Amino acid sequence: MSTTIPAAPPQKVAEAGKTTRFRLTDRARKERNLGWMLAGPAFFVMVAVTGYPILNALWLSMFDYRLTDPAGRDFIGLGNYLTILTDGLFWRQFGVTSLITVVTVSVELVLGFGLAMVMHRALYLRTALRTAILVPYGIITVVSAYAWAYAFSNTYGFVNGIFGLGEFDWFGGTWSALAAVCVAEIWKTTPFMSLLLLAGLAQIPDDYLEAAKVDGATAWQRVKRVILPNMKAAIMVALLFRTLDAFRVFDTVFIMTAGSQNTETLSFLAYRQTISRVMVGLGSAVSVILAILVVLIAVMFVKVFKTDLSQQRGDRK
Amino acid sequence: MKVSRRNQIFWIVGAILIIAYAVIPVLWIVSLSFKEGDDITNKSFLPTVWSWENYRTVFASDLFTTALRNSVGMALIATTISVILATLAAYAISRLDFPGKRLVLGVALAITVFPVIAIATPLFNLWRTIGLYDTWLGLIIPYLSYSLPLAVYVLAAFFREIPWEMEQAAQVDGATAWQAFRRVIVPLATPGVFTAAILTFFAVWNDFVFGITLTSSEAARPVPAALAFFQGASQFSQPTAPIAAAAVVVTIPVVILVLLFQRKIVAGLTNGAVKG
């Protein structure tokens, strides 16, 4: 995936590897064994702790199975999937999840870019800035959700006071509740985005910007023509990570609205079906669908990413 | 000269705004945690009287103290296991040539993007059958599903930057293999291992999905999950301020780690993603 990204010289590494393998067959075999001995345990644990549940979910998703009624367990093939995909509720939650994802990720991209620019340029307050920015990143999502839920609350919060909204109930309607959820998500995850963008920004040689300046480019032109094209890879990686993460949004919604006012997301649906309603079969099917959607998003990104990068390379030549 | 000074002021204002952005919600929950009585619903940012009452309530409640113990214990165990296994794997990936090293990294990456809830729901079923439901082990195992890939990923990125030839160079200069490892490689690798440990700890400390799906009592419930269940379980109707106090308590470790290791955390977050 992101193995093809920038700077590092992968060819050289591959060449070096090839020559050693060619010359020292015996040693190479030992190296191979040692490699698997060291990497094996981690690999095995990773595959076991995720592979098993995934396969198990696939299996269970084909049963009409309620935990409280094990005797009534019935194989129904793709029946659960049919139930879910023909249910308006699922599509609404898919819509809510997509909306949250698109809104938060696009706001984060713009905001994160601004943050990255400031972090890159500011000569003073550098350490304070980076320390402060890591607080939202490191803070527990549930804590952030509570902080924002109370801030927006019309019983405890200060938000209404500041904006003169009186007794406005943010959690009384779908749109305002979703807005509050998005604000909390954006606050918590923009720092991560901005740090990834900052890393991309730092890789742009200063000469490029100097040259553009000498040639009379305005600040906006410099951003658009020099900075953005040169940090495409970083932007793509940041977008990919954040989109996949946003699509799984759960904690914030659970704490802030508990899914009321039609703010349920797909992760929340999977949770509610399995844990609250103990409809294990149906819940597993939702989990599988969610996983497939995430994989699809990742594949889409990587496709766009690849054509984009090769185009970029072509342009330069 | 004049222009650049004006520019610099612009960036400083930006920096101050960002710091405010990052800190205000945290200060809000801190301020809320010191409110008491009518202050809780005064809808203003600050309390009129600062009170430790909520902290007393929180620490007097078994619900919170057991959850805190669970969180600390499980996060430390999961972090330790992840970092040990990941260090071995990352060393192999960056230093040795063996088939499948790309596979290991690929699997790690694929797992980090996988929806946690999709793993949690099948485990809910399995753990109930084999008796791991509502136990520490029953949470530590699923924690590994995201802490281990994260650690592998961060460490592989770090280890790739280490000039491993220096080990041979030291041996040529007369150091024994152990000395070369101890004096040259360990100091170079330690910061990476450390960073991986911090990031892994953050990830596990943050867990909520496994915490609420795989526990049913105080036996293993971590703090984030306990916070969500505070609501009904407390004797007062709306334990807003105590929740705020508990939230502040679990934020303190994060703030301390960030203050101490800001540079390392930034490096760890960006290394893997940009050069991986």
Q: Is the pLDDT of residue A2 over 80?
A: no
Q: Tokens 């008491």 map to which residue?
A: B36
CA distance linking residue B215 with residue B200, whole number of Å: 21
* Nearest-by-CA chain A residue for B257: A138
Does A197 lie at the interface with B, CB-CB under 8 angstroms?
no
- Mean pLDDT, range A236-250, rounded to an integer: 87
CA distance linking residue A40 with residue A47, whole number of Å: 10
CA distance linking residue A25 with residue B123, whole number of Å: 44
Of A146, A237, A287, the CB nearest to B243: A146
Report, as ranges of residue numbers, the positions in chain B whose pLDDT lies below 70: 1-3, 231-238, 272-276
Does A22 lie at the interface with B, CB-CB under 8 angstroms?
no
Q: Give residue A260's pLDDT.
A: 81
Q: Hey, are the CB atoms on A275 and B275 less than 8 Å from each other?
A: no
Cα within 13 Å of Cα(A67), Cβ side:
18
- B250, B68 Cβ separation under 8 angstroms: yes
Comparing CA positions, the residue from A213, A271, A143, A46 lying closest to residue B103 is: A46
Last residue of a domain, one of B31, B51, B71: B51
Q: Give residue A261's pLDDT.
A: 78
* Nearest-by-CA chain A residue for B114: A291
Q: Which domain holds residue B218?
A: 57-275
Q: What is the 3-state secondary structure (H, E, C) of chain B?
A: CHHHHHHHHHHHHHHHHHHHHHHHHHHHHHHHHCCCHHHHHCCCCCCCCCCCHHHHHHHHCHHHHHHHHHHHHHHHHHHHHHHHHHHHHHHHHHHCCCCCHHHHHHHHHHHHCCCHHHHHHHHHHHHHHHCCCCCHHHHHHHHHHHHHHHHHHHHHHHHHCCCCHHHHHHHHCCCCHHHHHHHHHHHHHHHHHHHHHHHHHHHHHCCCHHHHHCCCCCCCCCHHHHHHHHHHHCCCCCCHHHHHHHHHHHHHHHHHHHHHHHHHHHHHHHHHHHHC
Residues 177-196 of A with CB under 8 A from B: 187, 191-192, 195-196
* Interface mutation vs chain A, best among B58, B64, B98, most A CBs within 10 Å: B98
- Mean pLDDT, range A99-114, rounded to an integer: 93
CA distance linking residue A156 with residue B249, whole number of Å: 20
Taking only the tens place, the pLDDT of each residue in A194-213 is 988 888 888 888 888 888 88
Are B63 and B44 part of one and the same domain?
Answer: no
| Architecture of the domain made up of A79-316 | Orthogonal Bundle (1.10)
pLDDT band at A84 (very low <50, low <70, confident <90, very high): confident
Are B46 and B143 part of one and the same domain?
Answer: no
Q: Give residue A316's pLDDT.
A: 42
Q: Which of A12-21, A78-87, A103-112, A304-313 has the highest mean pLDDT?
A: A103-112
* Nearest-by-CA chain A residue for B14: A118
Taking only the tens place, the pLDDT of each residue in A279-306 is 888 888 888 888 888 888 888 888 887 7
Last residue of a domain, one of B51, B67, B91: B51
Q: Where are the domains of chain A?
A: 2-60, 79-316
Of B19, B85, B107, the CB nearest to A132: B19
Dmax of chain A from CA atoms?
78
Are B43 and B108 part of one and the same domain?
Answer: no
Distance (Å) from the C-alpha of residue A289 to the closest C-alpha of chain B? 9
| Residues of chain B positioned with their CB less than 8 A from the CB of A5 | 274-276
- B208, A251 Cβ separation under 8 angstroms: yes
CA distance linking residue A137 with residue B261, whole number of Å: 14
If one compares B1 and A37, the residue with the highest pLDDT of the two is A37
How many domains is chain B built from? 2
pLDDT band at A102 (very low <50, low <70, confident <90, very high): very high
Q: Is the pLDDT of residue A61 over 80?
A: yes
Are B47 and B61 part of one and the same domain?
Answer: no
Q: Is the pLDDT of residue A277 over 90?
A: no
Are B205 and B101 part of one and the same domain?
Answer: yes
Are B43 and B173 part of one and the same domain?
Answer: no
Q: Give residue A145's pLDDT.
A: 92
